[in-house]
Amino acid sequence: MATVLSVSGSPSATSRTTRLLRHVDGWLAARGHHVIPFEARHLPAHALLSGDFDHPEIAAAVELFARADGVVIGTPVYKAAYSGLLKALLDVLPQYALAGKAVLPLATGGSPAHVLAVDYALRPVLSSMGAGHVTQGWFVLDRHVTAGEDGTTVVERETEALLAPVVDGFAVALERLAAPVLAG
């Protein structure tokens, strides 16, 4: 199956965005995909913000994107846009780093007023980077993603039901993109 890079653009160590992504990762792994979790916050800030393309950790991140068949991009929404950390990461990637890849944009935020950030802030950037297919994205209220007493991620039931077909659509797009490779 496909290799999926699951990228959290959250600067927070206790991120609900990252929790949501790891939950989605489990769904994709259950479908047989190889999922590589990645947190942009672990990149060295100086190298990221100065655009040090030769820094080993930046070069390694670029290589992860290059190897992936699909990318899940998750971000918290701040001031009606994706995080500055995610922007800094996207800025150090090659212009067409997403060429030929299926991409699933996901966002979390505190208010339904930010729901359009996925389509009006994030999607255009992903498309400009050559994404082969940007699937339907999804916005999740951060209060609908919590930690259970045992530390596992709990996604509110209705949110989970609405998110499932979005993830399924991404998985189908991955399979379609991989089909010509398998057939050849």
* Helix, strand or coil, per DSSP, at residue 154: strand
Instruction: Report the pLDDT value the prediction gives residue 182, as an integer from 0 to 100.
Output: 52
88-129 confidence digits (pLDDT tens): 999 999 999 999 999 999 999 999 999 999 999 999 999 999
139-161 confidence digits (pLDDT tens): 999 999 999 999 999 999 999 99
pLDDT band at 180 (very low <50, low <70, confident <90, very high): low
Distance CA 3, CA 7 (A): 13
What is the number of other CB atoms lying within 10 angstroms of the CB of residue 172?
Answer: 14
Residue 103, CA distances (Å) to 4, 23, 52 in order: 9, 17, 25
With beta carbons less than 8 A apart as the criterion, state whether 132 and 99 touch: yes
Residue 117, CA distances (Å) to 43, 74, 82, 180 in order: 24, 12, 7, 33
The string of DSSP codes covering 12-62 is: -TT-HHHHHHHHHHHHHHHTT-EEEEEEGGGS-HHHHHTT-TTSHHHHHHH
Q: What is the mean pLDDT of the chain?
A: 94
pLDDT over 70 (residue 184): no
Instruction: Report the pLDDT value the prediction gives residue 59, as an integer from 0 to 100.
Output: 97
Contacts of 140 (CB under 8 A, 6+ apart): 20, 106, 107, 108, 155, 159, 163
The mean-pLDDT minimum among 3-7, 86-90, 173-177 falls in 173-177
Across the range 2-6, mean pLDDT stands at: 97
Distance CA 12, CA 41 (A): 8
Domain ranges of the chain: 3-183
pLDDT band at 132 (very low <50, low <70, confident <90, very high): confident
With beta carbons less than 8 A apart as the criterion, state whether 22 and 66 touch: no
pTM confidence score: 0.94
Contacts of 134 (CB under 8 A, 6+ apart): 103, 105, 123, 126, 127
**Which CATH superfamily hosts domain 3-183?**
Flavodoxin domain (3.40.50.360)
Q: Which of 178, 181, 133 is nearest to 34 (CA)?
A: 178
Proportion of the chain in helix, strand, coil states, percent, rounded to 5: 50, 25, 25
Distance CA 51, CA 6 (A): 22
